[in-house]
Chain A
């Protein structure tokens, strides 16, 4: 149980285009989802926290207009990287938490984004 999927697993795009990454909880309802960014050989950096049906809360230094987060249902959150640039290339990982197991986050497999 507690499986989280992400799609796509890899994406390559041209500079200036927008990319949407989906995060789904497959067998539970996720009241809260988190988006992280991970640079090579580094730890995870929390970008934002989203609760179903409300606006995401962004961490300091993360541009909300650049990284659009939507959490429209209890099983789906999306991260859209708008007008992507090469410096946005990174590994993006989502996690989900359900109310009953509130101290545990379950992570998706990650999405590797390469902006040319």
Chain B
């Protein structure tokens, strides 16, 4: 079956540091890949997505590239801000888009 593995948090960084949150997946076929962000007390917001190999999703300075050869979709940002503090979820959906499989989530804490 499908599964998503994320690096465990919390990840603590200083403002303006470089961020990488690793995500690898196991899936049949050609899934779509997503990063969602959850701010404290809120639901999930779609951050970015990629639907095929070598696609790069980007939004708000965050980027992730769909790497089929390494089955990875690592999230990166060149310079984090305190406002980026949140929990980040990597997810995949199957071809029909019927179901999202989530990773365990990674908490990011950015200190001023």
Contacts and interface: CB of A to CB of B under 8 A. Distances in A.
Grouping DSSP codes into helix (H, G, I), strand (E, B) and loop, the A interface class, with mixed when no group exceeds half, is strand
Contact of B44 (A42, A49, A93, A97): A93
A104 B102 CA distance: 13
A46 B93 CA distance: 13
Given A43-B89, A109-B42, A109-B43, A104 B49 contact: yes
B96 A102 contact: yes
Q: Kindly name the residue among B32, B98, B104 whose own CB sees the greatest number of chain A CB atoms within 10 A.
A: B98
Interface residues of A, number: 23
B62 interface: no
A103 B44 contact: no
Interface residues of B, number: 23
Contact of B89 (A4, A44, A104, A108): A44
B46 interface: yes
Interface string B43-87: 111100101000000000000000000000000000000000000
